[in-house]
């Protein structure tokens, strides 16, 4: 069950931000707002060359979670694989027997490592169960659930959308290392334009039609089609600017892209 609220986005238009009644968390706070966030792996381990997690980002993320939990919200954080997964792919992709499914499994296990890291830094808020299968959410009185990759054929973007749909939430926040999604790679195409607001039909025309382990897209095509199917809005926001997430959640103007 969800209660619809209308908020103003940075483009000046109205957006529905749903409040999900989080049955996975038990009944201690039955009217609690639920936030589903996909945390890009390149924010967790930003590719400094040595594979070191970004401790400062993790501290800011913990503070962000603490603030929202203290405000009465429940949160689901889904960890991505990011640069670490790509580095593993680069190391093995030249071997003749390597298939896309093998690369997917490497990425999935990286997301699970990142998920464990998030779960540990949030252990006083998060349930101890790391979600992999989106159909197996724990019933818990803890205000935070952490998830990761499940099986080959998509990224953790899909798991965030599936969990949002399962919980009745109509929004997913996708934390990335960019301020906006673009119509093309701005490093390669001088005509690339930033996206402030776009329909799923328009967005799906810009990205690859099929999933592959090293795909370059701000939101993967499988997850995008699933979000379109279930009428789920995705906000793509720079994870180094968590104050912009607060603005989005509060219906204020923010820096980022909205696909709906």
> Residue 30 burial (CB < 10 Å; 0-12/13-18/19+)?
exposed
| Rounded mean pLDDT, 101-118 | 97
Domains of the chain: 2-259 (3.40.1160.10)
What is the per-residue pLDDT across 163-212, written as a single tens digit (0 to 9) for each?
999 999 999 999 999 999 999 988 889 899 999 999 999 999 999 999 99
This prediction has a pTM of 0.87
Tokens 């689901």 belong to which residue? 76
Instruction: Pick the more confident residue, 51 or 122.
Output: 122
Question: Which element (helix H / strand E) includes 68?
Answer: helix 55-70
Beta strands in the chain (DSSP E): 2-8, 14-20, 34-39, 74-79, 126-131, 144-147, 171-176, 181-182, 194-195, 197-198, 233-238, 257-259
């Amino acid at each position: 069950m969800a209660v619809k609220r209308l908020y103003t986005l940075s483009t000046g238009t109205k957006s529905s931000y749903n409040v999900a009644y989080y049955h996975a968390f038990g009944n201690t706070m039955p009217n609690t707002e639920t936030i589903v966030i996909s945390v890009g792996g390149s924010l967790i381990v930003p590719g400094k060359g040595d594979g070191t997690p970004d401790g400062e980002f993790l501290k800011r993320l913990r503070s962000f979670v603490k603030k929202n939990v203290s405000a009465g919200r429940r949160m689901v954080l889904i960890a991505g694989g990011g640069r670490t997964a790509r580095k593993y792919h680069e190391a093995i992709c030249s071997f003749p027997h390597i298939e896309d499914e093998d690369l997917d499994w490497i990425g999935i296990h990286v997301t699970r490592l990142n998920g464990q890291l998030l779960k540990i830094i949030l252990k006083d808020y998060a349930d101890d169960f790391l979600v992999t299968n989106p159909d197996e959410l724990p019933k818990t009185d803890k205000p935070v659930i952490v998830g990761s990759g499940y099986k080959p054929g998509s990224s953790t973007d899909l798991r965030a959308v599936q969990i949002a749909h399962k919980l009745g939430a109509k929004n997913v926040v996708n934390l990335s290392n960019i301020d906006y999604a673009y119509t093309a790679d701005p490093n390669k195409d001088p005509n690339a334009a930033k996206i402030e607001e776009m329909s799923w039909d328009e967005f799906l025309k810009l990205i690859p039609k099929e999933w592959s382990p090293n795909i370059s897209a701000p939101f993967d095509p499988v997850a995008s089609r699933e979000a379109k199917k279930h009428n789920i809005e995705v906000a793509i926001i720079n994870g180094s600017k968590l104050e912009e997430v607060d603005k989005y959640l509060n219906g204020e103007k923010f820096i980022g892209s909205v696909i709906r």
